[in-house]
Amino acid sequence: MVRRVAIIGAGVSGLASIRSCLEEGLEPTCFERSNDIGGLWKFSNHAEEGRASIYKSVFTNSSKEMMCFPDVPFPDDFPNFIYHGKLQEYITAFAREKDLLKYIQFERLVTSVTKRCDFSVTGQWDITTEKDGKKESTIFDAVMICSGHHVYPNIPKESFPGLKDFKGQCLHSRDYKEPGIWKGKRVLVIGLGNSGCDIAAELSHTAEQVMISSRSGSWVMSRVWDDGYPWDMVFITRFQTLLKNNLPTAVSDWWYVKQMNARFKHENYGLMPLNGTLRKEPVFNDELPARILCGTVSIKPNVKKFTKTAAIFEDGTMFEAIDCVIFATGYGYAYPFLDESIIRSRNNVVTLFKGIFPPQLEKSTLAVIGLVQSLGAAIPTTDLQARWAAQVIKGTCVLPSVKDMMDDIDKKMGKKRKLFGKSETIQTDYIDYMDELASFIGAKPNIPWLFLTDPKLAVEVFFGPCSPYQFRLVGPGKWSGARNAILTQWDRTLKPTSTRIVGDLQKPSVCFHLFKFLAIPILFIALFLMLI
Q: What is the pLDDT of residue 423?
A: 44
Q: Write out the E strands in 166-322.
A: 169-172, 186-190, 209-213, 220-221, 283-284, 297-300, 303-306, 311-313, 318-319
Between strands 125-131 and 134-140, the pairing is antiparallel
pTM of the model: 0.92
Residue 299 in contact with residue 216, Cβ under 8 Å?
A: no
Q: What is the pLDDT of residue 188?
A: 98
- Measure CA 263 to chain center: 23
Backbone angles phi, psi at 367, to 5 degrees: -130, 140
Q: What is the pLDDT of residue 529?
A: 62
Backbone angles phi, psi at 5, to 5 degrees: -120, 125
Element containing residue 142 per DSSP (H, E): strand 142-145
Nearest-5° Cα angle at 309, 307 to 313: 55
Q: What is the pLDDT of residue 514?
A: 61
Averaged pLDDT, groups of 10, the chain, 532 residues long: 94 97 97 94 88 92 97 95 96 97 97 96 96 95 93 89 94 94 96 95 96 94 93 93 88 89 94 85 93 96 96 96 95 88 72 93 96 89 98 96 93 79 70 96 96 95 96 95 97 93 80 59 62 66
- Walk me through the domains of the chain, giving residue ranges and CATH numbers: 4-151+333-440 (3.50.50.60), 154-222+263-330 (3.50.50.60)
* Residues recorded for the chain: 532
- How many Cα atoms occupy the beta-carbon half-sphere of 37 within 13 Å? 26
3-state secondary structure (DSSP) of residue 86? helix
